[in-house]
Structure 1
């Protein structure tokens, strides 16, 4: 396999800074370029890592040899950026979630990377969270008995939901979704990082294991007594609640076991107020991508996991538009939420521009 020696970051916001920090901690890897449409942001982050600043991605690839690319731009830009990177010989790409604005574009990201022989990962970095890894080990070891079901709670499906779905799949053993039945509300024309999302919703996902997961979304009212964002894994002899950096395992006949989110001391730094756990998880994900690209080993955040989450999100939107069950694999490649808005299916009364 090809050695990974140079890296670039597209997007110099808070998450771009997180990716750059992670890349800077990988031995024998040098950050050569930072790009952002905001010249000031690009220059500031590039200076921090002794890299060249760009506002033009095409110029970056024309002037720099890049082995690994971190894509931290909004989802709408992902297809163009990834296509350019692959055309210029980038062999490893770590792309922020959500993958793309439509299911078709998300699929093409994966297919095009595979056609070029490149390794593509999607930054569902919570798979590297120490707490979630400990919970996964205990659940897989039978701590709550046979798995019966799961619930997820988050602000919206498209952005927060991609993490929620990925974590549900992780703790259920990464099953394949076979159908989705959902309903969403779009009371406001809401955009998160430029992408349309619902204001509230509920989706039931059936997996090939026979287990159902129910995901509830919204941000106006508490979704669960333990918090807005979290998951619950149900077993025949107990359950696990994971909310806000704290997991509690309730097993029949035993006292609750608490597992707290922890982080290495080297990652307790200030990067625009970013959670240190996210900094550590992203750094581990990037190091794992380098290892994968150089050895051929399957990466933990393989693009197939990101695509599986995206398929469920877009199937939930499709189910809401159809008012019926959507069987998978999904054979509709646009974004049904946007289609429904265009067709007047919802009549949002206000507008919300948000980060969640």
Structure 2
């Protein structure tokens, strides 16, 4: 079905934002729909439709969530319902096609991580965005949002605790063989990558959001336990433009699971320890011994506790939509984490240091995170070539 291209509707002010959910699995049920429902209760949104290739699944989702229209065809839904916002909750291999379709129909996009399998895919989606006031495609990076991350981001931007010097970023989780029995997991073509892409991306994105642009990375990756195409553990050394140096560990081999970021500044250490989401209580700031008490006390004032969540990010996205402004975690801001992950893989598989900005069209890692590297590329599978949207 052909969709007549839409221009972004100006009059979002004064009416509810019409939203549609694509994919009705666990993340849609557990995170997206509750966030949309909360904003609906506040008069901000209304969920007008859901789409899934499984007719029974989408009908059950709509019945449970009181969503009026169930579809198994995305383009038909876009043509008939004309949503303002589409939230994408499908496996990564579908994200590019679905994001492009939604943007061309005039809908803003909020897409689950990993955003798309490659930088080539990301750039193809971004090329479909509106030139000035949208629609834009943003990525679900909910760990950036909430009072704790906002407070620490502000302290670091102002260098209130001195220059950031040393950082550690850790996503050490545990996934068993049953987890990888899901057909699209552990495969380059459908998941994009292993724990660096599918698990550690949240903490790496938050680290970049706090510290700013990275400049170079040196990495290793291994396939130590699981019989998969991708890695199941990686480590990296990262240098930032501000001079800070960081270590990054991403693992699905770690029974004692934790997500952690630690940043040592000249006058204090900031540490976040959690698993899948954080509140003010998960942050700790330890001042250096010679820091005056009143100054250290000011650093501890995180304000009203707003936990990181899909709801917190959705609130910000809706505000951006109403203002006609590019939201956070979209465009270049959303691309930075994917670029770091791509560089991590290239460094690990080529035994080289990779600098920011060096991976572009013509580089094999631009179109596949394995880059065709011996021992990592799928057997008898050529490196994908870039195709137009």
Does the alignment reach a TM-score above 0.5?
Answer: yes
C-alpha displacement at 1:292, in angstroms?
A: 1.2
Query: What is residue 59 of structure 1 aligned with on the other side?
Result: 76
Change in CA separation of 1:347 and 1:35 when aligned onto 2, cut-off 3 Å: closer
Query: What is residue 324 of structure 2 aligned with on the other side?
Result: 296
Query: Once the two structures are superposed, what CA deviation does each residue of 1:270-325 show, in whole Å capped at 9, x if it has no partner?
Result: xxxxxxx56xx212322322221221234233332221000000111011111101
C-alpha displacement at 1:83, in angstroms?
A: 1.4
Query: What is residue 109 of structure 1 aligned with on the other side?
Result: 125
Specify the structure having the higher radius of gyration (Cα): 2
Query: What is residue 260 of structure 2 aligned with on the other side?
Result: 230
Aligned residues: 322
**Bigger relative contact order, structure 1 or 2 (CA pairs below 8 A, ≥6 apart):** 1
Query: What is residue 95 of structure 1 aligned with on the other side?
Result: 111
Tell me, yes or no, if the aligned pair for 2:129 and 2:135 is still in contact at 8 Å. yes
C-alpha displacement at 1:142, in angstroms?
A: 4.3
In the alignment, which of 336, 341, 344 is matched to residue 308 of structure 1? 336
Query: What is residue 44 of structure 1 aligned with on the other side?
Result: 60
C-alpha separation between the residues in 1 aligned to 2:28 and 2:46?
15
Is 1:19 equivalent to 2:13 in the alignment? no
Tell me, yes or no, if the aligned pair for 1:149 and 1:212 is still in contact at 8 Å. yes
SS at match of 1:16: helix
In the alignment, which of 243, 247, 261 is matched to residue 214 of structure 1? 247
In the alignment, which of 10, 27, 34 is matched to residue 22 of structure 2? 10
C-alpha separation between the residues in 2 aligned to 1:28 and 1:137?
28
- The Cα RMSD (Å) is 2.9
Tell me, yes or no, if the aligned pair for 1:241 and 1:248 is still in contact at 8 Å. yes
Query: What is residue 243 of structure 1 aligned with on the other side?
Result: 273
C-alpha separation between the residues in 1 aligned to 2:90 and 2:48?
18
Query: Once the two structures are superposed, what CA deviation does each residue of 1:210-247 show, in whole Å capped at 9, x if it has no partner?
Result: 22222112232478xxx631111111122112111412
Tell me, yes or no, if the aligned pair for 2:203 and 2:261 is still in contact at 8 Å. yes
Change in CA separation of 1:98 and 1:259 when aligned onto 2, cut-off 3 Å: farther
C-alpha displacement at 1:344, in angstroms?
A: 2.4
Query: What is residue 207 of structure 2 aligned with on the other side?
Result: 168
C-alpha separation between the residues in 1 aligned to 2:227 and 2:206?
24
- TM-score, scaled to structure 2: 0.74
Is 1:201 equivalent to 2:217 in the alignment? no
Is 1:317 equivalent to 2:345 in the alignment? yes
C-alpha separation between the residues in 2 aligned to 1:259 and 1:339?
49
- TM-score, scaled to structure 1: 0.81
Query: Once the two structures are superposed, what CA deviation does each residue of 1:55-109 show, in whole Å capped at 9, x if it has no partner?
Result: 221222232211111011111100110111122222x111111111112112222
In the alignment, which of 75, 85, 104 is matched to residue 102 of structure 2? 85
C-alpha separation between the residues in 2 aligned to 1:184 and 1:294?
43
Tell me, yes or no, if the aligned pair for 1:219 and 1:228 is still in contact at 8 Å. no
Query: What is residue 34 of structure 1 aligned with on the other side?
Result: 50
SS at match of 2:83: coil
Tell me, yes or no, if the aligned pair for 1:2 and 1:293 is still in contact at 8 Å. no
C-alpha separation between the residues in 1 aligned to 2:330 and 2:378?
38
Tell me, yes or no, if the aligned pair for 1:187 and 1:346 is still in contact at 8 Å. no
C-alpha separation between the residues in 2 aligned to 1:219 and 1:51?
39
Change in CA separation of 1:210 and 1:138 when aligned onto 2, cut-off 3 Å: closer
Tell me, yes or no, if the aligned pair for 1:144 and 1:250 is still in contact at 8 Å. no
